[in-house]
Structure 1
């Protein structure tokens, strides 16, 4: 126990564990985001996290519940309005920018609160505490458990809604499961990569994994590997180059995606 306490006392170890937790939570969910073309939906949910931060501070609540509540309400509101005939891309644009703006304005009205907005917009993984680790890994386990529990139904609803109906699977219910999982990821990832970069960590590892995968399960595993490499590698690069850690992690994920795309093009062009 003492050895574990001494190990977690090192801020770099805590940062590495936090990055791994976010990568493992985002990997399977990111695959569904890519398959369903929900990239902008993820971004809108992440932007709502800033309003959740303001709500948590105003009510003197822990950060994660406030972010989770606002992200979930925003996502459910978009889903409800889209079923009433509103264009999805318009709704996402309205909610993404308005919630971010209202969140930034709301924070400025909080009396006596000193807040580093850059930490919530772009992450501050080096400031992760032991309590933050509990929240991050608890949320990651909840997301992974939820996805594993509903994996078959989610996959069927994603690939063929008609087949899902025939199999007595409600696509709207599975959409709600993804919405809940997405809100959970946003709540646990905001401390690591920030509200503006969460969508990138969802999309880039999954997109990079696609050319190397023959099955959906394989893509989720490769996405988790790429996300972990980006988190740990970005942490090391940031340390040596003295660059912002959250953006550096996303930059490395982008490099992995570029390498994956070039490798896939090379294999397609090579003679058999």
Structure 2
């Protein structure tokens, strides 16, 4: 008989992969890995503010992640170097988040679970929020799929087709912020970007079309969640890092595929 906490953990992880698969593909295509890191690091500040003001963690995390995304987009549009802006904001947000957490009674004990995830502690309410958030992200990406692809491949072609690349960038920004908010309890702020990037990077070696890559990324994410939970159960390892470790192992197995093709 499988324990209920494992069923909840698996349900939460599988729901999250519906969002991280296609979204991670765009993160890889657009080389937005550092952007994902910056948004995830900002989530720690959102956690601290949520505890300080008695708000649900998902609300504070989403608010700060959105603020980070909008700030980055605004500074980049003013001519600031994107990698510099992301580096400054990512580390500053993480530092201020850890400082704020030190002033919130009781948060220090729970902070590690928000940094590295605690998927085994999710409740059915968390599972429902994760599936709802993932469904919104997946629906948003499906709705804007062709426009997003066109803007990713060639911005000039997108403009000629009547597509505003900045609007599509905003769509990805909103989707990324929402994904970070729902993922923080599963894999933690420091590992969210890895769950976005690693399955998509592995899927890239197995795919011949963008749609196939998104589907492969979801499948690899599912395998990573189940494999990571199995490793956590058998070897008593942390759930979030085990999931990312399983994804990394799958990525290693896909390395020969391009040479074989």
For 2:184, the equivalent position in structure 1 comes to: 190
1:152 and 2:142 equivalent? no
Shift of 1:84: 0.7
Structure 1 SS opposite 2:54 = coil
Q: CA deviation at 1:134?
A: 1.1
Residue equivalent to 2:204: 210
Output one character per residue of 1:176-206: Cα deviation in whole Å (capped at 9) or x when no partner. Answer: 0000000010001001000000000000000
* Residue equivalent to 2:6: 12
CA contact (8 A) 2:183 2:192 kept: yes
Alignment match of 2:45 (pick from 45, 48, 51): 51
Cα deviation for residue 110 of structure 1 reads 1.5
Partner residue of 2:87?
A: 93
Correspondence for 2:128: 134
Q: Distance in 1 between matches of 2:67 and 2:107?
A: 25
Give the count of matched residue pairs: 261
CA contact (8 A) 2:200 2:214 kept: yes
Residue in structure 2 matched with residue 34 of structure 1 by the alignment = 28
Q: Is the 8 A contact 2:46 2:65 kept in 1?
A: yes
TM-score with structure 2 length normalisation? Answer: 0.97
Matches within 5 A, 1:249-264: 249-264=243-258
Change over 3 Å in CA distance of 1:26–1:41 after alignment to 2:
same
**1:76 paired residue among 59, 64, 70:** 70
* 5+ long unaligned stretches in structure 1: 1-6
Does residue 220 (structure 1) correspond to residue 214 (structure 2)? The answer is yes
Structure of higher CA gyration radius = 1
Deviation at 1:237, TM superposition (A): 1.0
Change (3 A) 1:245 1:111: closer
Q: Give the deviation of 1:114 after TM superposition.
A: 5.8
SS in 1 for 2:186: coil
Structure 2 unaligned spans of 5+: none
CA contact (8 A) 2:102 2:108 kept: no
1:180-239 deviation digits (Å, cap 9, x = unpaired): 000010001001000000000000000000111111001000000000000111101110
Contact 2:48 2:107 in 1 (8 A): no
> Matched residues in 1 for 2:107 and 2:176: separation?
28
Match of 1:244? Answer: 238
**TM-score normalised according to structure 1 size:** 0.93
Partner-residue secondary structure (3-state), 1:116: helix
Deviations along 1:43-71, whole A, 9 cap, x unmatched? 11000000000111111111111101100
Secondary structure at 1:212 match in 2: coil
